[in-house]
A and B are shown apart, each in its own frame.
Chain A
Amino acid sequence: MSAKRRKFLLLNMVTAVGRSVPRRDGAAKVTGEARYIDDLVVAGAWYGKTIRSTIPRGTIRSIVLDPAFDWGGSRVVLVTADDIPGENVVHLIRDDQPVLAPRGGEIRHKEEPILLLAAADRSTLEEAAGHIRIEYVAQEPVFDPAHASEVYTTIEIRKGEDVEGVKGVEVVVERSFTVGLQEQLYIEPQGAIASPNSDGGITVIGSLQCPYYVQRALKRALQLTDQQAVVIQAETGGGFGGKEEYPSIVAIHAALLARKAGRPIRLIYDRHEDLAATTKRHPGVITHRTGVKKDGTLLFQDIDILLDGGAYCTLTPVVLSRAAIHASGPYSCPNVRIRARAVATNTPPNGAFRGFGAPQSLFAAELMVEHVAERLGMATVDLRRKWMLRLGDTTATGQKLTESVGSELVLDAALKAVSPVSPVSPSRPSIRRGRGLSLVFHGSGFTGSGEKKLSGTVAMEALADGTFQILTASTEIGQGTKTIFCQLAADALGVTIDRVRVAPQDTSIVPDSGPTVASRTAMIVGRLVQEAALEIKARLQKEKASLPLRVEKSYIQPDSLQWDETTYRGDAYPVYAWACTIADVDIDMTTGAVRVTDLVTAVDCGKALHPVMAEGQIEGGCLQAVGWATIEEIKMKDGGYQNDRLATYLIPTALDAPHIRTILVEDPYSRGPFGAKGIGELPMDGPAPAIIAAIHDATGVWLDEVPATPEKVLAALSGKRS
């Protein structure tokens, strides 16, 4: 190779992808310059407030406005369901959730929005709220999903023979597992600012993940056109799914007030309202019956899933779908039956939360491996090796895995990374120490035909000044979208990263790239960014294209991916990411407290586009899972959450967090950008079962339940003693 050619190659190898370049939004975030929704100053804006139901079920008999209070429009603005110009529906999957409960209408949960108020200042707003009385006719609420009469959706997945008739079964193990509610707990509460436009439309700026979800919801409830409903994302202080569908409600409410008041409205929740009213992770009960031979050969899995959707459907059918598809765990089983259902109760609606049903069903699947291994007297790692999905195996939906199957890679990497559990210091006699392991997989991108139907689009522009602009609705919520897209584009264009930027997430500017959910942004939308950049580069080289030059790329489903929505057979996801997690715990036998001391997780992400951000995503997801598994408990009272303040809903602090070590394993995926697979949700799946297994290792008791609060641990320990 000539020296000149070698130099050329070297130059081309100075790439952005795979390097941890400084994040695009970093400087603004460390100086306080980044503007989140509550930081925005909008001239003339009034403050908005939502008046909510205080009962879980019933009808509204009357809304009484105290005549002693001045309700004149110069002082306060009041919006009822009668003020909704379009349909009284929060547009999502079903049309069951009203924007505001109508007079005489049904109340299905506590904290259900009934009225909206706005005033120039907060004290007038509070005073006005104190002069409203809502009278109800109460009805008997349903809180227990096992006794719910309304079923949102059912799913059945079958593979192989009927599980009742499988021959050669020598041992059958049956267990039930319970998973609790969890709050996303983004540190920035929900909020939106709506302003009326001169064309009769509304502009909403908000803390949100999915600008086009909000736009569709606004259009429907306020009867607006695409041009009239403009949605812009403010800097967003975390989402985790909590800002997937809920911001549509905040935005519609703010918009209704703005329309009636004829002025901008700030509708920004405080933490109490956010905790009390917004969606949570679906709680549920998952029951497994597993048939094996004495040598561990897996013969059948019979799985029943029940999720509590709460009072309205929200995204429940899709959550249930992901739960069902992941329910068999990352294992190859010839005969599978998965029956899943999600039901309605009179509790606030549950919704999107990182993992989206998979953490629930994988928790059960992973502990089931432990129980079967215990029954057979086998090491759990050996049983996992025997069962695990490998290249060429088929999943429960009959999907043949043809590439990027990192199951064994992550298992080996995690095992190699840990040293034997160290003994407890004699000075701490009440401590028992244990270790647990889990192996999980998580489908990247939308389920089944989701991406095909959605056909997400990105655009790219080459500008006259030699810079490039990426136009996408994919949002930055901390996970690094803006940086990763610039890395992908820069490398595809063959330019330095400083020449690429991302346009604002504003529906009047950017095309619909689909929502920022489902571990799809880097892999699906990132690939479109890469394709758009390659086409720009090719056209700039080929023709003397006049600038600005714009290209658009939309997702095209490869013919090789086949999915049947009715039978749940086929390629459920384009590819899966894999993780093996090893958790070390200290159990205080005096208090039952579980402290996760160390956590090692090996993740097959295909390709780490930005290693530091990939690790950061994984570590944050792991700690969120540690919280779910240990201390994040929600207690219900009369259909409401008792843990409705940050003093009562506790997440791990830096002192509680384990030392987390991430090992990135790269088994590339041919259709991902540079081989990358989505990993946003995967880290939520593994820690909980590993922690429960570690508690068992330390104490000999099985909890089969999260969160494993000290109350439950101590009760289990005393049950074992007696």
Chain B
Amino acid sequence: MTVRFTLNGRDVSFEGSGAQRLLDVIREDLRHTGTKEGCGEGECGACSVLIDGELVDSCLVAVGQVERCQVVTVEGLQSPLQQAFIEHGAAQCGICTPGMLLAAHVLLQHSERPSAADVREALAGNLCRCTGYTKIIEAVLSCAT
């Protein structure tokens, strides 16, 4: 089948089984490798992307399900969060960073002045093993208006 959707604002199409993982289509067919696979079962959040503005684990989405949807990956993100992550030391090894940025971005879209507790809850689906989360939380809070 053909699945048509937008990836970071550009029209894209995929030919194949709609049962394939959105993650694999993004990474292997569309060659956007900013989205990472950490576990393949929705536990780590490294494969987080936005579908119509909602945060999802792309390893759990069948590509057929994004027909006519807007999919955004880290490559399509333009946010002050990115600079803040660098300045605050929120990215170390960097493998969780793309998913973490998208989770933080969604939070800031919905909440103007999140508390540290709000940030923790918003990022709870994204595992980081390097930072202890402290610097990530600081970086996100620094971008709250």
A570: chain B residues at CB < 8 Å are none
For B87, list chain A residues within 8 Å (CB): 20, 22
Digitize A665-677: 1 where CB-to-B-CB distance is under 8 Å, 0 elsewhere. 0000000000000
Contact segment of A26-34, A65-73, A391-399, A528-536: A26-34
Q: Known interface pairs A187-B95, A479-B92. Does A271 touch B133 (Cβ–Cβ under 8 Å)? A: no
Chain A nearest CB from B47 CB (Å) reads 11
CB neighbours of A635 from chain B (8 A): none
* Chain B interfacial positions (CB closer than 8 Å to A): 27, 31-41, 43-44, 46, 73-75, 77, 81-83, 85-89, 91-98, 101, 116, 119-121, 123-137
Seed contacts A188-B38, A237-B36; 10 additional CB < 8 Å A-B pairs = A25-B94, A29-B94, A30-B85, A185-B129, A188-B93, A615-B89, A616-B134, A619-B131, A620-B128, A654-B121
The chain A residues found within 8 Å of chain B, CB to CB, are 20, 22-23, 25-36, 38-39, 41, 184-189, 235-240, 270-272, 477-480, 612-613, 615-617, 619-624, 645-647, 651, 653-655, 657, 659-660
Chain B positions within 8 Å of A41 at CB level: 31
Interface centre among B85, B123, B133, B136 (most CB of A within 10 A): B133
CB distance B95 to A616 under 8 Å?
A: no
Contacts of A20 in B (CB 8 A): 87, 89
Which chain B residues border A36 with CB–CB below 8 Å? 33, 36, 95
Our pick among B38, B82, B125, B132 for the contact of A623 (Cβ within 8 Å) is B132
Q: Contacts A30-B82, A187-B96, A240-B129 given: A646-B101 contact, CB under 8 Å?
A: no
A-chain residues with CB within 8 Å of residue B128 when the two chains form the complex: 187, 620, 654
Residues from chain A with a CB closer than 8 A to the CB of B95 are: 36, 186-188, 237-238
- The interface residues of chain B lying within 8 Å CB-to-CB of A33 are 34
Are B135 and A657 interface neighbours, CB within 8 A?
no
CA distance A479 to B131 in the complex (A): 10
Which of the residues A32, A187, A616 comes within 8 Å of B44, measured between beta carbons?
A: A187
**Contacting pair B93 A26 (CB below 8 A):** no
The answer to whether A32 and B35 touch across the interface, beta carbons within 8 angstroms, is yes
Known: A32-B32, A32-B73, A187-B44. A646 touches B89 (CB 8 A): no
Q: Which residues of A contact B40 (CB under 8 A)?
A: 270-272
Would you call B137 and A186 a contact (CB within 8 A)?
A: no
Alpha-carbon distance between A553 and B144 when the two chains are bound, in angstroms: 47
Nearest CB of B to A326, in Å: 22
Residue in B closest to A613 when the chains form the complex, CB atoms: B89
Query: Across the interface, which residues of A come within 8 angstroms of B82, CB to CB?
Result: 30-31
A29–B128 CA distance with the chains assembled, in angstroms:
14
Which single residue of chain B is at the shortest CB-CB distance from A25? Answer: B94
What are 13 A-to-B residue pairs whose CB atoms are below 8 Å? A23-B89, A27-B86, A29-B97, A36-B33, A41-B31, A185-B129, A238-B129, A479-B92, A616-B131, A623-B132, A645-B41, A654-B136, A660-B132
| Cα–Cα, bound, A621→B130 (Å) | 7
State in angstroms the CA–CA spacing of A651 and B86 once bound together.
24
Q: Which residue of A lies closest to B116 (CB)?
A: A659
Determine if A620 and B129 form an interchain contact, defined as CB atoms under 8 angstroms apart. yes
Tell which of B73, B93, B121, B131 has the most Cβ of chain A within 10 Å: B93
Q: Which listed residue (B34, B86, B88) contacts A32, Cβ 8 A? A: B34
Q: Pick the contact of B130 from A28, A270, A616 — CB < 8 Å? A: A616
- Residue pair B73, A236 in contact (C-beta under 8 Å): no
Asked whether B97 lies within 8 Å of A30 as measured between CB atoms, the reply is: yes
Q: Is there contact, CB below 8 Å, between A619 and B132?
A: yes
Across the A-B interface, give the 8 residue pairs with the lowest CB-CB distance, nearest first: A32-B34, A478-B93, A237-B95, A29-B94, A619-B132, A478-B92, A623-B132, A39-B33
- Residue among B37, B89, B126, B137 with most chain A CB within 10 A: B89
Residue of B nearest to A275 (CB): B39
| B44 contact set on A, CB distance < 8 A | 187, 271, 646
Residues in A whose Cβ lies below 8 Å from that of B33? 32, 35-36, 38-39
B133: which of A39, A615, A657 is its contact (CB, 8 Å)? A657
Query: Which B residues are CB-close (under 8 A) to A38?
Result: 27, 33, 36-37
Asked if residues B136 and A477 are in contact (CB atoms below 8 Å), the reply is no
The chain B residue sitting closest to A614, CB to CB, is B89
Q: Which of B74, B86, B133 contacts A23 (CB 8 A)?
A: B86
Report the Cα distance A23→B87, complex, angstroms.
8
Q: Evaluate whether A22 and B133 lie within 8 angstroms (CB atoms) in the complex, with A32-B98, A653-B127 already known.
A: no
Contact of A646 among B27, B43, B132 (CB under 8 A): B43
Q: Which residue of A lies closest to B140 (CB)?
A: A654
How many angstroms from the CA of A616 to the CA of B41 in the assembled complex? Answer: 28
Closest to A39 in B: B33
Say which residue of B119, B127, B135 sits within 8 Å of A615 (CB atoms): B135
